[in-house]
Structure 1
Amino acid sequence: MNFQGLPTLTAHAYRLGKPDANGQAPEHVLNPYEAAPCRHCLRNIPKGHGMLICAHRPFETRNPYAETGPIFLCAAACAPSRGEGLPEVLTTSPDYLIKGYSVDERIVYGTGRVTPQAEIESYCAALLARDEIAFVDIRSARNTCWQVRVTR
């Protein structure tokens, strides 16, 4: 199982001020939160450090299931996540919203579930064992912001 953050080229484009999924330049702010998850390195941005806020759609195609939402990103270049094991950004909340998607990027109904942190890896593994599931997206259970994609 591989936990994937935002592609490096996408993160770099946002840092250069390229338009986000809403066609706007990312906002540059100092992190006011205790834990702001960077979707590229999959680590928490320390309070007071520079970060970007932008709208992101983690899908190749535009379809009714291609959700767009706000994400945080380290303002300075950061190393991409290595993808192995539960990333730091999934350790700050007691639960997360997990959904399986088909190869055509549509939600596979019946897979969406608010999942306790301790069950993330086992639930993702169970979903990815199903032939009709191409990938799993993990979102905030409170704000539904995209956190990370999980693949085989």
Structure 2
Amino acid sequence: MNLRYKPMPSDLAARYRRREPDAYGLIPEVNVSDGQGMPCRHCLANIAHGDRYLILAYRPFPELQPYAETGPIFLHAEECEAYTGGEAVPPILSTSKDYLLRGYNADDRIVYGTGAITPVDSIDARAAELLERPEVAYVHVRSARNNCYQCRIERA
């Protein structure tokens, strides 16, 4: 199965860079990266030492509902190109040994039994396995330790 790794939408990233309110109605905070594990959810690469970045609350779901988790993410403060690697595992997923993968249905609800901590070198295989299930519309990649959203995986 061909997979597609998707970053946060560019129009949403642009809104946050204009300092429009985040998912909690707050203005994104501006910081300077120390170069240690600040993954941008738009270009899906680490934010380099000395670069400015935003911290904000992000809800990667179209509307509020019980399964619409919201959490902190990082975003380059200056414009960056959206990740276009598509089928390749994004650079941000090389910063940890494993991640939580979880399937969601077309109604943006968790498909129970799909969540599993997955080693980086098994992400493609696990995502493909989940997406073979007809009830799974897409997969989230989240931090295995903090549950922070990283990116979305869909069928290509």
TM-score, normalised on structure 2? 0.95
The reply on whether 1:135 has 2:138 as its aligned counterpart is yes
Contact 2:35 2:46 in 1 (8 A): no
Q: Work out which of the residue numbers 118, 122, 125 in structure 2 matches 1:119.
A: 122
Contact 2:101 2:142 in 1 (8 A): yes
Aligned residue for 2:21? 19
Contact 2:138 2:152 (C-alpha < 8 Å) held by counterparts: yes
Q: Does 1:4 align with 2:6?
A: yes
Query: Which of 71, 87, 97 is matched with 1:84 structurally?
Result: 87
Number of residue pairs matched? 152
Q: Deviations over 1:78-97 (max 9, x none)?
A: 00001221000111100001
What is the identity, as a one-letter code, of the residue corresponding to 1:85?
Answer: A
Structure 2: give runs of 5+ residues left out of the alignment. Answer: none
Q: CA-to-partner distance for each residue in 1:26-81, whole Å, 9 max, x for gaps?
A: 00100134121000000110122100000000001211110000000011100000
CA distance in 2, matches of 1:134, 1:118: 22
Identity of aligned residues (%): 49
Deviations 1:105-139 (A, max 9, x none): 00000000011111101000010111000000000
Q: 2:45 aligns with which of 18, 29, 43?
A: 43
The 8 Å contact of residues 54 and 77 in structure 2, kept in 1 or not, is answered as: yes
In structure 1, C-alpha distance between the alignment counterparts of 2:46 and 2:55, rounded to whole Å:
14
Residues 1-24 of structure 1: CA deviation (Å, up to 9, x unaligned): 100011000000000011000100
> What SS class does the counterpart of residue 141 from structure 2 fall into?
strand
Give the superposed CA RMSD. 0.8
Q: Indicate the residue corresponding to 1:102 in structure 2.
A: 105
Runs of 4 or more, structure 1, over 2 Å off, are none
Structure-1-length-normalised TM-score: 0.98
Residue in structure 2 matched with residue 61 of structure 1 by the alignment? 63
CA contact (8 A) 1:21 1:57 kept: yes
Structure 2 contact 16–22 (Cα < 8 Å) conserved: yes
